[in-house]
């Protein structure tokens, strides 16, 4: 018998792996980096085979690793963690440097490494990439972000493609805010949305819709009942008391501001 909760006792950090592939800057968030040797430093990490970055690393044999600090803008993690480089220009809204032809995110980072791929190990759903470090740079004195910090302070959840993802079923009471993972209905995390601009327009509410929502809001305020709805993909919580618009009154094409999925991926929070 394997108790998956045991894996929650393993410690991790958070990192952005990046490379340039077919003239495009690509990258994704990983949490499994480890230093293998100190002399002639070698590192290793795993990436889901469905991730575009996996394909890119195999093709280019070179990559950068940015070590995420606690000061990173959450939007940068969501951009790299919940969207696909196939469809989204992930580097468009963050500061980065190009080192040895490799783009590395520098904003909100402790430091970065530039590596050459020396071996790939097939582990089923994921590949382990082993790389030789060819250069590195310290960027700030900020504290590195741990996976526990990511879950407990930022209150985000592991994407389905993460090696540490543990599927949990919602119980009869529904999702709660303290859940780290929930049952998911959407496909792989890197394939969730088609375009970052789509997310922005998807969240825009027309004057007409806003007017309708306002009327509903007034009715709602009268009733004094506010609910919370939680995205089962990324953990974002829509709080009606804050937003002043009932979740069910949001337009059909409204999307999660954090990961870009539709309303059907939200579950009511039972506190
Ligand atoms: Fe979401």
In a domain, 174, yes or no: no
List the pLDDT tens digit at each of the 271 positions of the chain: 999 889 889 999 999 999 999 999 999 999 999 999 999 999 999 999 999 999 999 999 999 999 999 999 999 999 999 989 998 999 998 999 999 999 999 999 999 999 999 999 999 999 999 999 999 999 999 999 999 999 888 877 777 777 777 765 543 333 323 323 333 333 333 322 222 222 333 333 445 555 555 555 455 555 568 999 999 888 899 999 999 999 999 999 999 998 889 999 999 998 7
CA of residue 85 to ligand 1 center, whole Å? 17
Residue 185 pLDDT: 33
Sign of CA dihedral 145, 149, 154, 159: positive
Tokens coding 263? 């309303």
Same domain, 59 and 135: yes
Residue that terminates a domain, selected from 152, 173, 204 = 152
Establish if 159 belongs to a structural domain.
Answer: no
**135: domain CATH number?**
2.30.110.10
Q: How many domains does the chain have?
A: 2
pTM: 0.75
- Cα–Cα distance for residue pair 148/65, rounded to 1 Å: 20
Task: Give the pLDDT confidence score for residue 219 in this predicted structure.
Answer: 52
89 and 221 belong to one structural domain: no
pLDDT of residue 165: 73
Query: Measured in angstroms, how far is the CA atom of residue 243 from the centroid of ligand 1?
Result: 16
CA of 185 to the centre of ligand 1 (A): 12
Among 152, 171, 201, the domain-final residue is: 152
Cα 190 to middle of ligand 1, angstroms:
12
Structure tokens at 245: 């618009």
Same domain, 139 and 218: no
Statement to judge: residues 140 and 194 lie in one domain = no
Compute the distance from residue 203 Cα to the ligand 1 centre, in Å: 13
CA of 171 to the centre of ligand 1 (A): 20
What pLDDT score does 151 carry? 86
Ligand 1 centroid distance, CA of 123 (Å)? 28
Among 123, 152, 181, give the residue marking a domain's end: 152
Ligand 1 centre to CA of 266 (Å) is: 8
- Burial readout 156-187 (b: 16 or more C-beta within 10 A, e: otherwise): bbbbbbbbbbeeeebeeeebeeebebbebebe
Domain of residue 194 covers: 189-268
- Taking the centre of ligand 1 as the mean of its atom positions, its distance from the CA of residue 61, in whole angstroms, is 32
Cα of 65 from ligand 1 centre, angstroms = 25
DSSP structural state of residue 180: S
In this predicted structure, what is the pLDDT of residue 210? 52
Q: How many separate helices (H) and strands (E) can be counted in the chain?
A: 6, 12
**What is the whole-number distance in angstroms between the Cα of residue 261 and the centre of ligand 1?**
6
Same domain? For 142 and 198 the reply is no
Whether 148 maps to a domain, the answer reads yes
In CATH, what number is assigned to the domain containing residue 262? 2.20.28.10
Q: Within this chain, do residues 131 and 197 fall inside the same structural domain, yes or no?
A: no
Q: What is the pLDDT of residue 119?
A: 98
Domain co-membership, 53 together with 141: yes
Q: What is the Å distance from ligand 1's center to 262 Cα?
A: 8
Q: What's residue 200's pLDDT?
A: 30
Distance CA 245, CA 240 (A): 6
pLDDT of the residue at 233? 86
d(CA 211, CA 216): 9
Give 265 Cα–ligand 1 centroid separation in angstroms.
Answer: 8
253 located within any domain: yes
User: For 148-180, what is each residue's pLDDT tens digit?
Assistant: 999 888 877 777 777 777 765 543 333 323 323
- CA–centroid distance, 131 to ligand 1, in Å, is 32
Per the CB < 8 A criterion, the answer to whether 242 and 210 are in contact is: no
**Does any domain span residue 123?**
yes
Expressed in angstroms and rounded, the spacing between residue 241 Cα and the centre of ligand 1 is: 19
255 CA → ligand 1 middle, Å? 8
**Same domain membership, residue 236 and residue 131:** no
Distance 110 CA to ligand 1 centre (A): 26
Residues 134 and 250 in one domain: no
**Antiparallel, parallel or unpaired: β 237-239 and 228-231:** antiparallel
Residue 98 Cα, ligand 1 centroid: separation in angstroms?
30
Q: Do 135 and 68 share a structural domain?
A: yes
- Phi and psi angles of residue 113, each rounded to the nearest 5 degrees, phi first: -125, 145
């Amino acid at each position: 018998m394997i108790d998956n909760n045991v894996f929650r006792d393993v410690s991790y950090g958070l990192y952005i792996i990046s490379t340039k592939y077919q003239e495009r800057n690509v990258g994704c968030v990983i949490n499994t980096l480890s230093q293998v040797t100190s002399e002639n430093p070698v590192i290793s990490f795993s990436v889901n085979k469905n991730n575009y970055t996996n394909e890119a690393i195999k093709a280019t044999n070179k990559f950068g690793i940015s070590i995420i600090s606690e000061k990173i803008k959450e939007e940068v993690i969501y951009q790299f963690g919940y969207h696909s480089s196939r469809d989204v220009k992930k580097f468009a809204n963050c500061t980065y440097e190009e080192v040895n032809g490799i783009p590395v995110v520098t904003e909100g980072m402790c430091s970065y490494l530039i590596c050459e791929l020396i071996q790939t190990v097939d582990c089923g759903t994921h590949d382990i990439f082993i790389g030789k470090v060819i250069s590195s740079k310290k960027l700030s004195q900020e504290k590195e972000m741990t996976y526990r910090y990511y879950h407990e302070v930022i209150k985000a959840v592991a994407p389905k493609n993460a090696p540490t993802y543990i599927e949990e079923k919602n119980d009869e009471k529904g999702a709660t805010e303290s859940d780290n993972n929930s049952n998911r209905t959407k496909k792989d995390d890197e394939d969730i949305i088609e375009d970052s601009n789509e997310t922005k327009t998807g969240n825009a509410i027309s004057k007409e819709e806003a007017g309708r929502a306002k009327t509903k809001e007034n009715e709602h305020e009268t009733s004094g009942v506010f609910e919370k709805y939680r995205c089962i993909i990324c953990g974002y919580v829509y709080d009606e008391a804050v937003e002043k618009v009932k979740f069910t009154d949001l337009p059909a094409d409204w999307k999660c501001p954090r990961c870009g999925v539709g309303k059907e991926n939200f579950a009511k929070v039972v506190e």
